[in-house]
Amino acid sequence: MDVAHRMIELLGAMKFFGDNCKVDVIKFQKREPQELLSPEEYKAPHPNPNNSYGKTYGAHREYLEFSQDQHRQLK
């Protein structure tokens, strides 16, 4: 969330100060890892365990998802 808020602040400041960014919209996409991945993919270990936020690839993907409340806050 901190990184997302910072991105919004920086892009808003660029537009305000007339930089060539011209951003009108920032998209944060919501996904459901249990629906996106097959059961085998969900339960599999992350391909690079040093970069994983969970014991399985599915748990890693769940960790990275914003909740509905977090999406509301960003909006």
Residue for token digits 């960003």?
A: 74
Spacing of C-alpha 36 from chain mean position: 15
**What pLDDT is stored for residue 31 in this prediction?**
92
39 within a domain of the structure (yes/no): yes
Gap between the Cα atoms of 64 and 26, Å rounded? 18
Q: How confident is the model at residue 66 (pLDDT cuts 50, 70, 90)?
A: very high
Q: Count the domains in the chain.
A: 1
Tens digits of residue pLDDT in 18-52: 556 667 788 899 999 999 999 999 999 999 999 99
51 within a domain of the structure (yes/no): yes
14 within a domain of the structure (yes/no): no
36 within a domain of the structure (yes/no): yes
| Among 65, 43, 63, CA closest to 54 | 63
Q: Which domain holds residue 56?
A: 24-75
Gap between the Cα atoms of 46 and 65, Å rounded? 16
